[in-house]
Structure 1
């Protein structure tokens, strides 16, 4: 199922995009290339306000920015676990994990498994893997 909006006209404020802007960009990322966005943009958008939109994007196999959204899901999960859920609610993360397990494909299944492993064993956190895209570039089950 595709959630593709019609067009993307740019971000009013790229440091704080709206869910609609992020979704539109995800289907037309060639309009505003990732390397032209603010430094650490992945970290900026990986918060509670946009995580539902990012999960939807990561769930759509046809979305050109799916890997970016999955990368943001890894950042969100790691940030929650590393801060003992001061950064993000544990319950919200668990709902996304359950949704990925029930409705996701293999890619989201890897993410859900890896999050469960990190929840059980926080020492599995590796910055390169979780926050710099290692688990997205080389998808696998950790543990």
Structure 2
């Protein structure tokens, strides 16, 4: 499933990377460490423009930046659900969840499960878990 650019040459604009730049970086994340990225870079890239790229990266167990991509999926899901889908499309999130359920491994199945739980019980939202990587670092089903 891994389609990668063999050499990452940097971001033209790190605040708004292209899907190709993000994908190339994800396979060479040490070339530009996360610590050197703009503050809240995870929040900046977790939008509609890059979500399918992030999803593909999170689905690839061999991607070195997979955990980062999965973290961004949690941000995206929570942002959509918490804004009652004013921030992101309910349909797009549903399609990603269904694809993860059909083709994903354990981390992706847990993300899909947790997203469905949050949709049915939005009061379970915890900023640390969903937006600061808690559910990625300590993977668990809600």
What range is the shorter-chain TM-score in? over 0.9
Residue matched to 2:20: 20
Residue matched to 1:69: 69
Q: Secondary structure at the match of 1:4?
A: coil
TM-score normalised to the size of structure 2?
0.99
Distance 1:30 1:132 in 2: 21
Distance 1:108 1:31 in 2: 26
Residue matched to 1:122: 122
Query: For each residue in 1:65-118, what CA deviation from the matched residue of structure 2 results, as whole angstroms up to 9, or x when unmatched?
Result: 000000000000000001000000000000000000000000000000000000
Residue matched to 1:104: 104
TM-score normalised to the size of structure 1?
0.98
**Conserved? CA contact 1:71–1:133, under 8 Å:** yes
* CA deviation after TM superposition for structure 1 residue 4, in Å: 2.3
Give unpaired runs (5+ residues) of structure 1. Answer: none
Q: Cα RMSD (Å) of the superposition?
A: 0.5
Give unpaired runs (5+ residues) of structure 2. Answer: none
Distance 2:7 2:56 in 1: 18
> Where in structure 1 do 4 or more consecutive aligned residues deviate above 6 Å?
none
Aligned residues: 142
Distance 2:139 2:28 in 1: 24
